[in-house]
Amino acid sequence: MMLGAVTGRRGRVLGVSAALAILAYAANTFAVQLGAGWARALSPFRYYIGGEPLKNGIQWADAGVLAGTTGILIAVAAASFTRRDLAT
């Protein structure tokens, strides 16, 4: 949503979103094996399934990180969208 509000280009948003999703999944899956363990902390997949919620229950700190990131992205999207000139 944030990318769409900032750029306004559907194709660009879909391409960048797909690329970011693939990179985030790859960072979560392969970062440790490639010696870049720090990159795993940048992936939302780590916060979503890293604490094994089915086995250990919800990890409230991880849920807070995801909720905070979502809130920030929605705030940026709302601010960007209100500044766009939709009449032209």
pLDDT in tens, 35-87: 888 888 999 999 999 889 899 999 999 999 999 999 999 999 999 988 877 77
CA 34 to chain centre: 22
Among residues 40, 10, 36, 14, the alpha carbon closest in space to that of 25 is found at 40
Q: What per-residue string of b and e applies to 58-74 under the rule 16 or more CB within 10 Å gives b?
A: ebeebeebeeeeeeeee
Give the other-Cβ count within 10 Å of 5's Cβ.
19
pTM of the full predicted structure?
0.80
Across the chain, how many H-helices and E-strands are there? Answer: 5, 0
